Amino acid sequence: MSYLDRINDCKKFKKSNYIPFFYNNTQIGQIHLKILKHLHQFYKILSINSERIDLKAPLDTFKGRTSTMAQITLVLKNNKLIKGWRNEACPVKTSFTSPTLFEIERAAAPLFGIKGYGVHLNGYIKKNNQIYLWVGKRSLLKQNGPGKLDQIVAGGQPTQLTIKENLIKECAEEANISRALVASAKSVGSISYLTERKEGLRDDEIFCFDIKLPNDFKPINTDGEVDGFFLWPLEKISQIIKRTENFKFNSALVVVDFLIRHGFISSNQKNYNNIVIGLNRKNTLIKGF
């Protein structure tokens, strides 16, 4: 196993198995061919042919489009095609800075290959000239990645919050990091991936943050989504990443990015260029950090 294995875990995608999903001639997602048989019942809402699926016009209001997609997703949920329903709306847009076309239930987004966004925070300390990284273990009750290792704080990006507001919220819920302490977090760019998972197609961009925490800081989970926290040196975390699949698939990429930026993975590392390229890293910095 290797760092590159973790990268390749997030590249399991065969384009020929998917059909583009459009609204108003703008592609907004991709739907697996095996899902098509479940969509023909929505012929009044969806136009389906061998080349594409279109959300039919005229749906000329944000509320109308959102309501129409909700009709579809609720039926698919009742047919057991969507699991882990969260009652959390996520935006449907072609890029993070483009207008939101409508909202969709977060658990339903991968079924339609809708692009998703999230925030991940690397919390670390420096001790004896070494960097130690806080790692969270996800609750066994989580729908995705139960029991997997994760960042100290991580979460999807809902519609109604800015990235900064979302990070503050997630920090409070997942690790009891105060708003004042979150202010010291640094926006360090984003990574992205396109990969097929059991919940559907994950086409995600993760906005990454670093925060240097006080050495005596102890994270405390307040929302029941984390079973515990560990403070480990980078060497131990590196070995876990390379030798196991203990980290949640996308959280492993965030760790690899951290290791590169902090000089733990150097250009002498085997397959270094492929690792860096595979992260699909952008210098997308969030204002206010």
CA distances 40 to 27, 135, 261, Å, are 19, 44, 48
pTM: 0.94
pLDDT at residue 105, as a whole number? 94
Do the strands 18-23 and 53-55 form a parallel or antiparallel pair, or are they unpaired? parallel
pLDDT at residue 270, as a whole number? 87
* Residue closest to 106 by CA, chosen among 80, 140, 83, 79: 83
The per-residue DSSP string of 272-289 comes to: HHHHHHHTT-B--PPTT-
pLDDT at residue 60, as a whole number? 76
CA distance 197 to 10: 9
CA distance 268 to 106: 40
pLDDT at residue 144, as a whole number? 85
CA atoms within 13 A on the CB side of 180: 1
Domains in the chain (CATH in brackets) are 3-11+116-278 (3.90.79.10), 15-113 (3.30.750.160)
CA distance 251 to 119: 11
Rg of the chain taking only CA atoms, in angstroms: 20
Q: Residue 177, SS3?
A: coil
Residue 24 backbone zone (phi > 0: left; psi -120 to 50: alpha; other: beta): left
Residue 149 tokens, joined: 């290792």
pLDDT (tens, 9 = 90+) of the chain, 289 residues, equals 799 999 999 999 999 999 999 998 999 999 999 999 999 999 999 999 989 999 986 677 888 899 999 999 999 999 999 988 988 899 999 999 899 999 999 999 999 999 999 999 999 999 999 999 999 999 998 888 899 999 999 999 988 899 999 999 999 999 999 999 999 999 999 999 999 999 999 999 999 999 999 999 999 999 989 999 999 999 999 999 999 999 999 999 999 999 999 999 988 888 899 999 999 999 888 887 7
pLDDT at residue 165, as a whole number? 95
